[in-house]
A and B are shown apart, each in its own frame.
Chain A
Amino acid sequence: MSVVQQKIEVARGATGGRSRRFTFTPTVTVYLALVALLVVGSVLVGVQGGVLLDQGGILNILTRSTVLGLVAVGQTIVIVAGSLDLSVAYLVGLCSLVAAETMAGSDGMMVPGVLLALGVAAVVGLVNGLVVTVLKVNAFIATLGVALILRGYLEENYTGPAGSVPRAFQHLGFDRIGPVPVGVLLMLLVAAAAWWYLRRTRGGYHTYAVGGDVDVARLSGVRTGRTIVIAHVLCAVAAGLAGVFLASRLGSGAPYVGTDAGYDLESIAAVVLGGAALAGGRGGVVGTIGGVLILATLDTIFDDLAVDPFFKDVVRGVVLIVAVALYARRKVSRRSA
């Protein structure tokens, strides 16, 4: 064998034929963790004489997942794009008010109310996106700034719940189709749409590219600015839907309904728990939903066990850190391999 030939062998051999085995991707891990949590939770609740996974329990978990799921699915898109949205919590409150006040109890105003709320959300998302791309402000600061602006507006103009939705509109919040609440279906529908966008459309491909490496994306001819702006608009619209849904459940708009539940940081936590890289370029809707379900399951278990709420937060914090540390470990070991 000549040297050159051998050299070629060496170079070719370097990659080897790695067989595609089943691997513990973050998405797989998060669902395995969810199953484990359900098992452990069932045992713990069972020991105390309760049942975690009866129909009521499952519905409880799903219902808890609805609003956070909507917000987190949107958050997934911006995080994959390498950005972030801290304004979603105030936006949820704002949109619940816009919807409820526009409807003002009248059946005929339901559609305009929803559309106006989503329109307001889209505008806020557009502002977020433009501040990040045109003014080149770091997303953390940009969306924090927008969050503060929204808070200022809400505090100036509202002291408590306002507006009211017609009875008919409350079907969205309380009805079920078969055993499944309409809200859960709405959330899953939005998740499916987001999944389709990220995994099947050019916009989605470009979102991963921009988050993975913005310079690479630009050099490849991707309109990076537009991709990021679209991500922010989609995220904001998802948050707007969450607001609309909450208006339906509460019967009116509530300025702090989003911040009280901490949807800003909670949604980011769910996305990261679902395996997305905070730096962008990796992650997905399926993982995020897993993250949301884990958080919701934890809450349900703790409620069933009547655990001290402070301890609850401690456990949530630990779970989040352990999950991200696990993902990081996988990356390190793969690199050194």
Chain B
Amino acid sequence: MTAGGEVVVRLTGITKSFLGVPVLRGVDLELRAGEVHALMGENGAGKSTLLKVLAGVHRPDSGQVEVAGRPVVFSTPREAQEAGIAIIHQEFTLLEHRTVAENVYLGREPVRRGQVDRRKMEADTKELLDWLGEDGIDPAAPVSGLSVARKQVVEIVKALSTDAKVLAMDEPTAALADQEVELLYDLVDRLRARGIAILYVSHRMREVFDLSRRITVLKDGAFVTTAPTAELTSDQLVRHMVGRSLDALYPDRATEAELGDVRLALRGAGNDRVRGVTFELRSGEVVGIAGLQGSGRSAIARAIWGVEPFTTGTLELDGVPRRVTDPRAAVRLGIGYVTEDRKGEGLALRQSIRDNALLVRRAALPGSRGRKRSDLTALLESVAVVARGEHQEVRYLSGGNQQKVVLAKWLAVGPRVLVVDEPTRGIDVGAKQAVHRLLRELARTGVAVLMISSELPELIGMSDRILVVHEGAIAGELPAGASEEAVMGLATGHGIGEVA
């Protein structure tokens, strides 16, 4: 099957080095009108750099960029924009306190008689929103009041407003909840149908197989292959990306012998977000919490950790009733929490790996300061952080390595209960597996792990039991290896397996 549509963009033999380190070594890429083309590769494979070359942020050292058959050289993002190439970055590029229209036309505001033509700006934004079938968004409303999914729509409208023919989306679902991903699929489909070429960068296999017509794989900056999606299996794809096949995707579950006493017990716990939460968590166990975004699954985690504490019911830790009134109390009781917002809440980005890894220990357990340096080294080795050294600032690490530092931070205090919220969001396949293995090993040492994830395969693959949350209450419990349908059934308020 050859992809229809004419070739809009062709990159040939692109190379790029930073400080003598080659990041791209001869990459080819071809995008056709009305095609969704997936770009895959592990972190560090050069995907982001390739996007930036396409977007005019970086100039390639050699190789050629052609737009509509004509060779071009972009020296600024603006030139790429003018050639019809738009990028939707992984982090949102919206100004929270400005309106939708102001964001969409930022840098290109229409001017009439020396003034910004607000009316035209809002009318044009409205037109684009309508064109996409998103007429529920008010161009004059500030962005800060929009849901994440709607912010993404605004991002896309912003890209389209430049008359984009090519839309490159970098991890567009990283910040989205499950149900919002469906909306994005829908949107991508509409864009494709309107003849826009879409370059789709994602770590999520399922999305890539659902959406793309062709897949280009990069590994260590080199071009591996471009193949029609229909001719690839996910195994083959992983082999292309990693250069080996990932054996047994998830670590073995706990055996009955590995399960110990009840570590954490909640009985009828509730606050203004959740109610009647009752469950037990045993030592050595990984329990998954499933639920739609906003169902209260994160609220349970945050309540256990004392951010927004339970106001009713009881919480027992190793059989002793406790009141966890704030995170500090939680830490001192041996409860750790890996937040879903790694960059915002999990790490002090401008501080070193060392300072981050010791953050909790220094803050909450004074007196343990005298530990030896070798402890830290061993700790960082145990989570296998890849970095230049322990003094490197964490903001320069890849997502996977950052998450390992977050885990190290909690390992440093030897928690009894570890609550992890979206532990592998936005990290690549290899690092994902490392995190999974770490969590399982941790459980083997007697820690009780409570894991929230909106990636169902991960949740099902990792959990010894799954609790499903629906509208602030636990709707049911499923055994290891439950089907996705069963989980979704409970999560959407139907019975088990009642999904169309």
Contact = CB atoms under 8 A, between A and B. Distances in A.
Contacts of A205: 102, 106, 109, 116
B95 interface: yes
A interface majority secondary structure: helix
B150 A15 contact: yes
A3 B94 CA distance: 31
B294 A10 contact: yes
B114 interface: yes
A21 interface: no
A216 interface: yes
Interface in B454-500: 488, 492, 494, 499-500
Interface stretch (B175-183, B218-226, B232-240): B175-183
A206 interface: yes
B145 A18 contact: yes
Contacts of A11: 147, 149, 177, 179-180, 182-183
Given A11-B149, A11-B183, A220-B106, A202 B111 contact: yes
Interface stretch (A52-60, A207-215, A288-296): A207-215
Given A7-B178, A8-B182, A10-B179, A206 B107 contact: yes
A7 B116 contact: no
| B115, B488, B494 interface centre (most CB from chain A within 10 Å) | B115
Contacts of B158: 220
A252 B457 CA distance: 79
Contacts of A18: 145
Contacts, number: 93
Given A15-B150, A201-B116, A212-B97, A7 B179 contact: yes
Contacts of A204: 116
Assign chain A's interface to a size class: 20 to 34
Nearest to B292: A10
Contacts of B494: 3
Interface string A208-242: 11001101110111100000000000000000000
A200 B121 CA distance: 12
Contacts of A206: 106-107
B77 interface: yes
B75 to A, nearest CB: 13
B166 to A, nearest CB: 16
Nearest to B108: A221
A8 B97 contact: no
B351 interface: no
Contact of A3 (B93, B149, B488): B488
A282 interface: yes
B280 to A, nearest CB: 30
A135 interface: no
Contact of A201 (B89, B114, B179, B500): B114
Interface in B159-190: 177-180, 182-183
A14 interface: yes
Given A202-B116, A221-B78, A7 B182 contact: yes
17 contacts: A3-B488, A7-B182, A10-B292, A11-B179, A14-B149, A18-B145, A201-B111, A205-B102, A208-B95, A212-B95, A212-B96, A212-B97, A213-B95, A216-B93, A221-B76, A221-B77, A222-B107
Interface of A: 2-4, 6-8, 10-12, 14-15, 18, 200-202, 204-206, 208-209, 212-213, 215-217, 219-222, 281-282
